[in-house]
């Protein structure tokens, strides 16, 4: 079987459960409550979304996201292809039809950026970044994840830290 045909079959097999799912929900607003910390007594609603803690939010509705320069070379995804994909993904997200209208956020996708670590450093420049992991997955508990969003925030207010918020 050719490599493109195998990829197509693999993609269809991976997406089939999503296409056949009924009433699927993929969004819960994150809060400051940490379910891994038993002293916080986090509570969840029927959709398994946290209902305790401050909701996380950016201070501004204008956000910049940078794409990591390396792309995913083992998957033959160069920077330009990654940039295009991330740009289209955020365009779909910001134009989603929600019950209250589309999300009130503007996302500017830029790059390339050489940083490949998720961290917040109050003494240096920071960025919201998209990074591809092709070898080891450095996050415990996410071995089967297709993606992971790491968010650094002010615990008392839920304000998401950005390059200029601290």
Q: What is the pLDDT of residues 21-34, one digit of tens each?
A: 444 445 688 899 98
How many Å apart are CA 52 and CA 37, to the nearest integer?
Answer: 13
Sign of CA dihedral 19, 65, 160, 94: negative
Domain locations in the chain as residue ranges: 56-166
Q: Which phi and psi angles does 12 have, rounded to 5°?
A: -60, -40
106 bridge partner residues: 62
Contacts of 61 (CB under 8 A, 6+ apart): 104, 105, 106
Q: What is the pLDDT of residues 80-132, one digit of tens each?
A: 999 999 999 989 888 887 777 777 888 899 999 888 777 777 777 777 888 88
How many Å apart are CA 129 and CA 152, to the nearest integer?
Answer: 12
Q: Which phi and psi angles does 149 have, rounded to 5°?
A: -105, 120
């Amino acid at each position: 079987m050719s490599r493109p045909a195998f990829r197509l079959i693999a993609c269809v097999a991976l997406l089939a459960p999503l296409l056949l799912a009924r009433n699927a929900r993929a969004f819960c607003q994150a809060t400051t409550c940490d379910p891994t910390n038993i002293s916080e007594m986090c509570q969840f609603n029927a959709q398994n979304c946290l209902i305790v803690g401050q909701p996380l939010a950016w201070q501004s509705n204008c956000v910049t996201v940078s794409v990591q320069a390396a792309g995913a070379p083992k998957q033959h995804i160069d920077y330009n292809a990654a940039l295009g994909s991330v740009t289209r993904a955020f365009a779909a997200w910001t134009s989603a039809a929600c019950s209250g209208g589309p999300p009130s956020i503007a996302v500017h996708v830029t790059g390339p950026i050489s940083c490949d670590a998720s961290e917040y450093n109050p003494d240096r420049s920071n960025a919201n970044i998209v990074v591809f992991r092709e070898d080891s997955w450095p996050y415990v508990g996410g071995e089967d994840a297709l993606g992971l969003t790491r968010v650094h925030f002010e615990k008392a207010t839920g304000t998401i830290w950005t390059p200029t918020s601290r």
